A and B are shown apart, each in its own frame.
Chain A
Amino acid sequence: MPNRLSISECIKLLDNREIKVTELVNAYLREIENRDEEINAFITVTKDEALEKAEELDRKGKRISPLSGIPGGIKDNICTKNINTTCASKMLKDFVPKYSATVYERLLDNDFVMLGKLNMDEFAIGGGGEYSYFKPVKNPYNISHMAGGSSSGSAASVAAFECAFSLGTDTGGSILKPSSYCGVVGMKPTFGTVSRYGVVGFAPSLEQTGPITRTVLDNAIVLSKIAGHDEKDPCSIKRDLDFLQDIDKGLKGLKIAVPKELMDMDVIQRDVRKCYEKSFEIFKELGCQVDVVSMPSLQYSLSAYYAISSSESASTLARYDGIRYGHRTKEYSNIEELYEKTRGEGFGIDVKKRILFGTFLLVEKEKNYLDKARKARTILMNEYERLFKEYSIVLTPASPITAPAFGEKQSNALEKYYEDIFTTPINLCGIPALSMPVCKDSNGLPVGIILSARHYDEKTLYRFGHAFEAARGILK
């Protein structure tokens, strides 16, 4: 089954003409056909275009890039010219952009084969994958469990062998968490590394697009092709893009920091803790030093994250007003009614919640929570900076729990949001992080860890990830 191969294996076969692009693409399309009715990873499958492209590449024969002929899927908040880009929302269910996101254009320039648009939590808000207007994404390891969000389809499709790789977007763990729930490798790059242009976000100061793959090496290969300066994104930076240079160097003598505050939390599930601690052992065997350090400011991150992301979302999602495109309510007698009904009908409950919370923060002037949150953000950044002077990476679990089951009633909002305690500090500080599986819990669900590093140091994350992956062996 060629769709079980890693990208690096595919590259070899394609280079040696041992497999045709058409065969590879067909294998993936078959998997989608067989499996996606259950997983719900895709919103749109671009089958005809994929086959056409595959045939074209086979005819041409020449491979212009490692990604040439590699089939991938794109999260449905990444604009794809002339292909529906719904953000999994009723608001944009018929929206067809007349422009493309820079990341998508980069992939096209590399001759990748587009398989389609991936399901997600509406407007990338939410953490479970159940808040899609269309259908909930299910965990390929156990379909009664969630895939995690918001890049739920991106993680599930790769885990289910429906894509060789996918692109997700991450605002507060939206790549890292679903990757861990689905047992795949996800990268949230340094802020400014991958262009935000054409990516429909909700909190621009926190967002990055990144690859989800089945191996660490594959991930580095994809990131190399989507990263790079883009003049269409004012925050885009010119930086070193050789993510593979250190990948085989081994880990001897490198230092890993483990935050004491997180170690102490008994909110972490027993199996998660076991796997987490097992990862220390593996790293030690690889020659690393694992130190427990104190990061007291981590306690502010959830609060700061929700304040900042919600306020930005209230403003960023204001453009969905029913005037120029997207959903417009059927009946209205004046402009106010047009707005209120359109937005009331077009957005799902989680999006509304976030917008209203953000609106509260924007009008609340007395306590100035936002100002405090921004200051907490600075304190947190300083703390990371201090740590990274001594340590190569910070290691945490990906989530305190493994993928929750559908239908488990959560009695309040906090319960759902505490899942993000390990991921939100990463976005607040704009540092890169890699999520990868360690082992499975007693229910057979994957357990993951997150490795984070200083700004621009993705290559070190790949170095750690690659060595860890080899030492850990196949996930059983």
Chain B
Amino acid sequence: MKYEAVIGLEVHVELKTNTKLFCGCRNEFGKKPNTLVCPVCAGMPGTLPRLNKEAVNLAIKAGIGLNCKINKFSRFDRKNYYYPDLPKGYQTTQYEMPLCTDGYIDIGGRKIGIERIHLEEDAGKLIHEEDKTFVDFNRSGVPLIEIVSRPDIRSGEEAALYLKKLRGILLFTGVSDCKMNEGSMRVDVNVSVRPKGLSFFGAKTEIKNINSFQYTQEAIGYEINRHIELYENGKTPENETRRYDEKSKKTYTMRAKEDSSLYMYLPDTELVPLDISEEEIDEIRKKMPLLPEEREKMYVKEHGLSDFDCENILQEVHFAEYFEEAAKLSKDAKNSANLLITQIFSLLESDKVIKIKPLRLAEVSNLMTDEVINSSTAKKLLEKLWEEDFDVENYVKENKLFQINEKDVLSRYIDEAMEENQKIVDDYRKGKKKALKALTGIVMAKTRGRANPRLLNTLLNEKLG
């Protein structure tokens, strides 16, 4: 029998605000436990929430970026449950009337529906030790949006693609920094499997808190196979919550799935409803930055970049901004993109900060375009620029790094190289084509990397005959 997987994703994303959703405490990661708390986010008696305008704006931005309907009326509800990291005994969220509904993400021709985006607060964090658990409320009240997809995803690959697109949109709209390692982006997956062509839903398992897109893809793949295997053996998967173990690449039972009808929801009457006008939404729409997809189109059309180039540059907002700045100053933006991806990205450290000014990349790239320097010089220059900033043209002049474009000068270097490496020349003539590369390398070394590569190639071929 043919099977089909039905997959839905619930993605929690922390919003990039200065302060928490309902109080003025800082929204920061990695501070000493319980130093970013106040009576409101600690759930002290009698305190009241005060809604952060910026959080609402960012949620609207996300909604616009994800092609959602922004609802005029929305409201906050309380989701009541007990857990030590939940100070009020309920999470303030949007249950009945979410801010955004009915959007989609295009994953290369196929639209994955987004059911809803709602605004809510994060809980604190538990720190487990051998015999006790510590509670840290620094994260309590940090603004989140939850993006709930429709069950339109059919494979782990599609899920990863959806997540990549989603992350790109959220990054470029400035909604979130989407750092999975810091928990500012968290993915829960719902998987079920059914015989292809039928429309009912099979038993559903939920996989919680997966750490990367790669693992999400793997976990889904594993889970689909596990379900199919069970069905093939006449068994049914349990409705349950599972976790993915990255080492064994398997999922394991965590607990039986909570019966969602047992959650106690109630409108939050400490807060007033939201009534967002068309004008307000338009105002935000006008200020929307270009989304990755729009940027990709622009890169291809205006600069002739490849899909590969685009994907690399659009990984991070500051990469894209860097490229766009350099492209403006470049005679050949495609060449700048190549240098950025092949040379500069290889120098990046874990913070992903680019230590070269976009202007310098453009200068290096332009000298290449004008055939003043060659690519190996460009590489050296960029490595040097990573250490310190300097005027590229002056530096090239002072250090005589000009490309050797003169036929006779280069010929002399080639002759010298061939004399000194008779064996390689013989090899080549015997049919060992690889020897050409070796000779090219030797001439390059002799010229301190300055030979015009095209000219060198022509001359070598001529001389080797």
CB atoms of A and B under 8 A apart anywhere in the complex? yes
Residue of B nearest to A322 (CB): B84
Chain B interface bracket (under 10, 10 to 19, 20 to 34, 35 or more)? 20 to 34
A189-208 residues with Cβ-Cβ distance < 8 A to B are 196-201, 203-205
CB distance from B95 to the nearest CB of A (A): 12
- Residues on A with C-beta less than 8 A from B261 are 365
CB distance from B73 to the nearest CB of A (A): 16
A318 touches B269 (CB 8 A): no
A2-60 residues with Cβ-Cβ distance < 8 A to B are none
B311 at the interface (CB under 8 A from A): no
Complex CA–CA separation, A8 to B47 (angstroms): 33
B44 touches A99 (CB 8 A): yes
A197 touches B48 (CB 8 A): yes
Dominant SS among interface residues on chain A: loop
B143-185: CB near A (< 8 Å → 1, else 0) gives 0000000000000000000000000000000000000000000
Chain A interface bracket (under 10, 10 to 19, 20 to 34, 35 or more)? 35 or more
Complex CA–CA separation, A79 to B48 (angstroms): 12
The stretch from A90-98, A176-184, A452-460 touching chain B is: A90-98
A274 at the interface (CB under 8 A from B): no
- Residues on A with C-beta less than 8 A from B25 are none
Which residue, B48, B78, B262, has most C-beta atoms of chain A within 10 A?
B48
B77-126 residues with Cβ-Cβ distance < 8 A to A are 78, 80, 82, 84, 87-90
B50 touches A200 (CB 8 A): no
CB distance from A377 to the nearest CB of B (A): 12
A355-377 residues with Cβ-Cβ distance < 8 A to B are 359, 362-363, 365, 370
Known contacts A99-B39, A234-B50, A235-B272: does B45 contact A92 (CB below 8 Å)? yes
Complex CA–CA separation, A323 to B89 (angstroms): 11
A293-330 residues with Cβ-Cβ distance < 8 A to B are 311-312, 314-315, 317-321, 323-325
Complex CA–CA separation, A92 to B42 (angstroms): 16
- Residues on B with C-beta less than 8 A from A325 are 44
Q: How many A-B residue pairs have CB under 8 A?
A: 96
B296-308: CB near A (< 8 Å → 1, else 0) gives 0000000000000
Which residue, B42, B47, B90, B262, has most C-beta atoms of chain A within 10 A?
B47
Known contacts A97-B39, A234-B271, A362-B80: does B264 contact A315 (CB below 8 Å)? yes
B272 touches A315 (CB 8 A): no
B270 touches A101 (CB 8 A): no
A232 at the interface (CB under 8 A from B): yes
Known contacts A99-B39, A231-B50: does B271 contact A79 (CB below 8 Å)? no
Residue of A nearest to B78 (CB): A315
B46 touches A323 (CB 8 A): no
- Residues on A with C-beta less than 8 A from B87 are 319, 323-324
Partner of B45, one of A79, A234, A314, A362: A79
Complex CA–CA separation, A160 to B409 (angstroms): 113
Partner of B46, one of A197, A231, A311, A318: A197
Complex CA–CA separation, A457 to B367 (angstroms): 79
B84 touches A314 (CB 8 A): no
B42 touches A324 (CB 8 A): yes
CB distance from A94 to the nearest CB of B (A): 13
Partner of A323, one of B84, B262, B264, B265: B84
Complex CA–CA separation, A314 to B266 (angstroms): 10
Q: List 23 A-B contacts (CB under 8 A).
A: A77-B46, A92-B45, A97-B39, A99-B39, A196-B46, A198-B47, A200-B46, A201-B46, A231-B50, A232-B48, A234-B272, A312-B266, A315-B78, A315-B90, A317-B89, A318-B80, A318-B88, A319-B43, A323-B84, A323-B135, A324-B87, A325-B44, A370-B266
B-side interface residues toward A, CB under 8 Å?
39, 42-51, 78, 80, 82, 84, 87-90, 135, 137, 261-262, 264-266, 269-272
The 3 closest A-B pairs by CB, nearest first: A318-B89, A205-B269, A362-B264
A85-B46, A197-B46, A324-B135 are known; give 9 further A-B pairs, CB within 8 A: A79-B46, A99-B47, A234-B270, A318-B89, A319-B45, A319-B87, A339-B82, A365-B261, A370-B266
A-side interface residues toward B, CB under 8 Å?
77-79, 85, 87, 92, 95, 97-99, 101, 196-201, 203-205, 231-235, 311-312, 314-315, 317-321, 323-325, 335, 339, 359, 362-363, 365, 370
